[in-house]
Amino acid sequence: MRKLTMLKAINEALRQEMRRDPKVYVAGEDVGIFGGCFGVTAGLIEEFGPDRVRDTPITESAIVGSSVGAAATGLRPVAELMFIDFIGVAMDQIFNQAAKMRYMFGGKAKVPLVLRMPCGAGGSAAAQHSQCLEAWLMHVPGLKVVAPSMPYDAKGLLISSIRDNNPVIFIEHKFLYGVEGEVPEESYTIPLGKADVKKEGKDVTIIATMAMVHRALEAAADMEKDGISAEVVDPRTLQPLDNETIVNSIKKTHRAVIVHEAVKFAGPGAEIAAMIAEEAFDYLDAPIKRVTAPFTPVPFSPPLEKEFIPSKEKIASAVKALLQE
Amino acid sequence: MAIEKEKLLWMFRNMVTIRLFEERVAEYFAAGKIYGFVHLYVGEEATATGVCANLRKDDYITSTHRGHGHLISKGGDLKLMMAELFGRKTGYCKGKGGSMHIADVELGILGANGIVGGGFPIATGAGLTAKYNGTDQVAVCFFGDGASNQGTFHEALNLASIWKLPVVFVNENNMYGISMSQKKSMNVPDVAARAAAYNVPGVVVDGNDVLAVYEAAGEAIKRARSGEGPTLLECKTYRYRGHFEGDPTVYRPKEEVEEWKKKDPIPRFENELAKMGILAPDQAQAIKAEISKLIDEAVKFAEESPWPSLEEITEDVYAV
């Protein structure tokens, strides 16, 4: 099958949805002729013009808020925030307006809005351009949170997100944009709230998100040589979370290691661990372990940043320690 | 400007409806039958009325925490509003929103809002929908003087101005953001002065003169409908009651309140209509009595309505 980078897969999802539905438009900083800060929207303005590929000023509250208003009145905006780190400036419009409108109005509004935002460390962009903040958003009733790891997933999940009638936060790890994978040319959807087993195994379940899926797969490949069979589960959607796939894997392996790049305390893994403890405690043969960033802002200097991001070695050593228990 | 008699009488009825509705809400709030926070619109009736008298059903508004007057003026149903304030299943939001979140998307009412300044970008987005779809609908964003110090005010005005969106930003300057006088909260005498920063018209009008508001809003709305972009319209007005019910209002002199009561928009308009020969005193009384009855019915409907069932707590979080 044809291979595409995750960046191109996302671009193709946007293009196909914009062709299918004239109510879909893109808005954000530099999304037009510049093609987006990372190039995700490249070429869209040439095909769809400036009314549907709307360059905005640097105005995150208005980018999100105007999308909320447009969505509530019948359009299907796909807004880009240049970095997830910028949501703080727009947070009221995300968590008090977009997320709650339907509930507050007694179910009489729908807000079909997608907010795309890159996250993640790895380029010495330091503390305000490198974070993983998915836990903030998972915590808000009314939002859905999607966090793909593979180009195939990114395309199918983005198409589903655009067709969803709720506000969807679509998180793109910026160091996955260049990752290649098989992606069908035709349009397809992947349901939100459905995890994917990226590698089957029998000794331990590694639940990993976004870039950490790749580190987990590398660690799993390395551990095969030591006779350890790790299963790697990618939730793909963090809200709603696919409890069933995770629990089924643990029923098989009896051990769970959760890996994410977000910081540990109250990170996404805290919720996953709590869910496992509630729903699969009897199947566990060992405590749940988490491999995460330390509880610090993202540091700038390359060796510090490298230490910040969970590595395949740290994942493997956590798995091995767990297997000793 | 010649205004049809029917429209003039609608304006009078609407202002009376807001006043009597709010007075009844105050009563039931004091009696413990209405819950949470309520922020009443008493004294500001001419503003919402004069603006909304120019709107069509398919136009949009965003409202504020002090929203009952906007909702009534845009056609909100009194029974559904009252039932919502009583927290009942039959209310506009099935008892999930309360005073600060009443909405009727079918009537273009995109919600009251508990966040000061929350509505600016939402109204801008509604204006974008109109422009994107090539209709001549407009979006009106109501907001207070305090809200114009929020970042969203500036972001939305900027975006609406560069995109020439059909949005009319209607400031109800009641001189106070809770306790803080507008004189202390901004370094310009008029909120409308801020329009200059976005190169859009900034207009100041007597917000207690319903006909002046009607005329100024009419101009702004016409401009928006014809694709010329936003206007910032400032209506100088006053709230007779506190910021919320229960506010001791220690921050403003009693004389000031008395001065403003002399400028009450309702008797003022009633006199004008009498002079025009459109409304005799006994007719005005009859209208008030009739509206009072409608509000009785709304209260009865609310009181007799069931509470939401407990299973409903998890409904309406997500759309299918």
- Are the Cβ atoms of A106 and B132 closer than 8 angstroms? no
Give, rounded to a whole angstrom, the gap between the first and last alpha carbons of chain A: 43
A35-39 LR contacts (CB < 8 Å, sep 24+): A36/A80, A36/A82, A37/A82, A37/A83, A37/A118, A38/A7, A38/A118, A38/A174, A38/A177, A39/A7, A39/A177
Report yes or no on A188 lying in a domain. Answer: no
Report yes or no on A110 lying in a domain. Answer: yes
pLDDT on residue A239: 98
Return the percentage of chain B with pLDDT > 90, whole number.
Answer: 99
pLDDT digits (tens, 9 = 90+) for A244-254: 999 999 999 99
Q: In chain A, what residues touch B138 (CB-CB under 8 Å)?
A: none
Average pLDDT of each block of 10 consecutive residues along chain A (325 residues)?
97 98 98 97 98 98 98 98 97 98 97 98 96 98 98 98 98 98 98 98 98 98 97 98 98 98 98 98 98 98 98 98 91
In angstroms, the CA A75 to CA A112 distance is: 8
- DSSP for chain B reads ----HHHHHHHHHHHHHHHHHHHHHHHHHHTT-S-S-----TT-HHHHHHHHTT--TTSEEE--SS-HHHHHHTT--HHHHHHHHTT-TTSTTTTSS-GGG--BGGGTB----SSTTTHHHHHHHHHHHHHHHT----EEEEEETGGGGSHHHHHHHHHHHHTT--EEEEEEE-SEETTEEHHHH-SSS-GGGGGGGGTS-EEEEETT-HHHHHHHHHHHHHHHHTT---EEEEEE---SS-SSTT---TTS-HHHHHHHHTT-HHHHHHHHHHHTTS--HHHHHHHHHHHHHHHHHHHHHHHHSPPPPGGGGGTTSS--
- Are the Cβ atoms of B158 and A69 closer than 8 angstroms? no
Three-state secondary structure call for residue A144: strand
- Are the Cβ atoms of A62 and B315 closer than 8 angstroms? no
In angstroms, the CA A270 to CA A288 distance is: 10
Mean pLDDT, rounded, of chain B = 97
Residues A43 and A111 in one domain: yes
Residues A233 and A317 in one domain: yes
Q: In chain A, what residues touch B151 (CB-CB under 8 Å)?
A: 61
In angstroms, the CA B48 to CA A100 distance is: 25
Q: Which of A115, A149, A182 is the last residue of a domain?
A: A182
B317 has pLDDT over 90: yes
B169 has pLDDT over 80: yes
Give residues with Cβ within 8 angstroms of A300, minimum separation 6: A124, A126, A127
- Are the Cβ atoms of B118 and A56 closer than 8 angstroms? no
Q: Which of A130, A147, A182 is the last residue of a domain?
A: A182
pLDDT on residue A325: 80
pTM attached to this predicted model: 0.97
In angstroms, the CA A298 to CA A301 distance is: 10
Say what angle helices B5-30 and B265-275 make with each other, to 10 degrees. 150
List residues in chain A touching B: CB distance below 8 A. 25, 51, 54, 56-57, 59, 61-62, 64-75, 77, 92-93, 96-97, 101-112, 141-142, 144, 165-166
| CB proximity under 8 Å: B 42-61 to A | 60
Shortest Cα distance from B113 to chain A (angstroms)? 9
* Catalytic status, residue B240: no
Which residue is catalytic, options B24, B239, B241, B268?
B239
Report yes or no on A170 lying in a domain. Answer: yes
Residues A246 and A282 in one domain: yes
Q: Which of A182, A208, A235 is the last residue of a domain?
A: A182
Q: In chain A, what residues touch B129 (CB-CB under 8 Å)?
A: 69-70, 73-75
- Are the Cβ atoms of B118 and A73 closer than 8 angstroms? no
Torsion of Cα atoms, A300 then A302 then A303 then A308, to 10°: 60
Residues A203 and A171 in one domain: no
Residue pair A306/A291 in contact (Cβ under 8 Å)? The answer is no
Residues A219 and A172 in one domain: no
Q: In chain B, what residues touch A32 (CB-CB under 8 Å)?
A: none
Q: In chain A, what residues touch B316 (CB-CB under 8 Å)?
A: 102-103, 106-107
Instruction: Find the closest chain B residue to A106 by CA distance.
Output: B93
Residue B105 pLDDT grade (very low, low, confident, very high; cuts 50, 70, 90)? very high
Report yes or no on A9 lying in a domain. Answer: yes
Question: How many separate domains does chain A show?
Answer: 2
Residues A209 and A305 in one domain: yes
Shortest Cα distance from B136 to chain A (angstroms)? 14
B7 has pLDDT over 80: yes
The CATH code belonging to domain B5-302 is 3.40.50.970
- Are the Cβ atoms of B158 and A57 closer than 8 angstroms? yes
pLDDT on residue A291: 98
Provide mean pLDDT across the span B61-70.
Answer: 98
Q: Looking at residue A236, which CATH number applies to its domain?
A: 3.40.50.920
In angstroms, the CA A103 to CA B62 distance is: 17
User: What length does chain B have?
Assistant: 320
Residue pair B209/B215 in contact (Cβ under 8 Å)? The answer is no
CB atoms within 10 A of CB A126: 15
Return the percentage of chain B with pLDDT > 70, whole number.
Answer: 100
ipTM here = 0.96
B2 has pLDDT over 90: no
Q: In chain B, what residues touch A140 (CB-CB under 8 Å)?
A: none
In angstroms, the CA A21 to CA A169 distance is: 20
Picking from B118, B129, B315, the nearest residue to A107 by CB comes out as B315
Residue pair A268/A209 in contact (Cβ under 8 Å)? The answer is yes
Residues A37 and A105 in one domain: yes
Range of the domain at A312: 196-324
Residues A118 and A222 in one domain: no
pLDDT on residue B1: 58
Residues A116 and A246 in one domain: no
Q: What are the helix (H) ranges across A147-253?
A: 151-163, 211-224, 243-253
- Are the Cβ atoms of A61 and B129 closer than 8 angstroms? no
Q: Which tokens in the block code for residue B268? A: 């003022």
B138 has pLDDT over 80: yes
- Are the Cβ atoms of A105 and B152 closer than 8 angstroms? no
Picking from B96, B118, B159, the nearest residue to A59 by CB comes out as B159
pLDDT digits (tens, 9 = 90+) for B230-286: 999 999 999 999 999 999 999 999 999 999 999 999 999 999 999 999 999 999 999
The answer to whether B156 contacts chain A (CB < 8 Å) is: yes
Give residues with Cβ within 8 angstroms of B253, minimum separation 6: none
In angstroms, the CA B37 to CA B71 distance is: 17
**Radius of gyration for the alpha carbons in chain A, expressed in angstroms and rounded:** 19
pLDDT digits (tens, 9 = 90+) for B189-245: 999 999 999 999 999 999 999 999 999 999 999 999 999 999 999 999 999 999 999
Residues A210 and A176 in one domain: no
Which residue is catalytic, options B243, B252, B268, B318?
B243
* CB-defined contacts A:B, below 8 A: 148
Report yes or no on A122 lying in a domain. Answer: yes
Residues A177 and A232 in one domain: no
In angstroms, the CA B188 to CA A170 distance is: 42
Exposure letters B283-301 (e unless 16+ CB within 10 A, then b): ebeebbeebbeebeebbeb
Q: In chain A, what residues touch B101 (CB-CB under 8 Å)?
A: 104-105
Residue pair B62/B119 in contact (Cβ under 8 Å)? The answer is yes
Picking from B60, B121, B316, the nearest residue to A102 by CB comes out as B316
Report yes or no on A306 lying in a domain. Answer: yes
Residue pair A55/A82 in contact (Cβ under 8 Å)? The answer is no
- Are the Cβ atoms of B125 and A73 closer than 8 angstroms? yes
pLDDT digits (tens, 9 = 90+) for B30-51: 999 999 999 999 999 999 999 9
Residues A161 and A233 in one domain: no
pLDDT on residue B65: 97
The answer to whether B158 contacts chain A (CB < 8 Å) is: yes
